[in-house]
A = this chain, B = another copy of it.
Amino acid sequence: MLGMLRLGASSGYAIKKATDVSTRFFWPTSLAQVYPELARLQQAGLVSRSEDPQGARARSAYEITEEGQVALLDWLRSALKAPMQFRDEGVLRLFLADALSGEEQLVLVRRLRERTEAAEAQMRGEILPVAEALRQSGAKFPELVAHLGADTHTYVIDWLKELEEQLLAEAPRAGSES
């Protein structure tokens, strides 16, 4: 939250929009999360709130306070305890794919690859451009992270392609219907 404010978002709505085009793949948010959290941060003195109406439409503009700056830096400098967690039904299916026939295994791997390709395309098409724009305003890490995500996905796609070829070599008739 604090980090997003720092990068230029001001309203709760804007923060949500910003995460959708930047951290979505490794730190998604929802509005139902953002608004209460902003209220908490305000009460803790880490952000300040000011009314910023657009015509008759209400809007609250938030700004990070000096205390908030300190808290953000403290967090960034602290040891990270939370282990990376990732939960993926697709990989779980692959893990259990021995229960399927050769043809079905190939279908599964293909679907997995296509899904990964879709994610990669979104990263390169939607997220990377936004991150590149942020670089103009002095932040280089969003772009680095976008590249890390996109490149890693490319790696997985290639890995899955190789697996597909391997499976095809074992059961050549499996690929004919596609």
Chain A residues with CB under 8 Å of chain B are 3, 6-7, 22-23, 25-28, 72-73, 75-77, 79-80, 82-100, 104-105, 107-108, 111-112, 115-116, 119, 138-142, 144-145, 148-149, 151-152, 155-156, 159, 163
Query: Contact between B138 and A98 (Cβ–Cβ < 8 Å)?
Result: yes
List B contacts of A22 (CB < 8 A).
95
Q: Known contacts A25-B86, A26-B86: does B115 contact A80 (CB below 8 Å)?
A: yes
Q: Which of A73, A91, A141 has the most CB of B within 10 A?
A: A141
Q: Known contacts A76-B104, A89-B82, A115-B84: does B155 contact A95 (CB below 8 Å)?
A: no
Q: Can you name 6 A-B pairs with beta carbons within 8 Å?
A: A6-B99, A27-B95, A73-B100, A84-B119, A91-B148, A98-B140
Query: Contact between B100 and A27 (Cβ–Cβ < 8 Å)?
Result: no
List B contacts of A139 (CB < 8 A).
98
Chain A interface, DSSP helix/strand/loop, else mixed: helix
Query: Contact between A145 and B95 (Cβ–Cβ < 8 Å)?
Result: yes
List B contacts of A23 (CB < 8 A).
92, 95
List B contacts of A100 (CB < 8 A).
73, 76-77
Q: Tell me the minimal C-beta distance from A76 to chain B in angstroms.
A: 6
Q: Which residue of B lies closest to A2 (CB)?
A: B96
List B contacts of A151 (CB < 8 A).
155, 159
Q: Which residue of B lies closest to A111 (CB)?
A: B80
Q: Which residue of B lies closest to A72 (CB)?
A: B99
Q: Tell me the minimal C-beta distance from A70 to chain B in angstroms.
A: 11
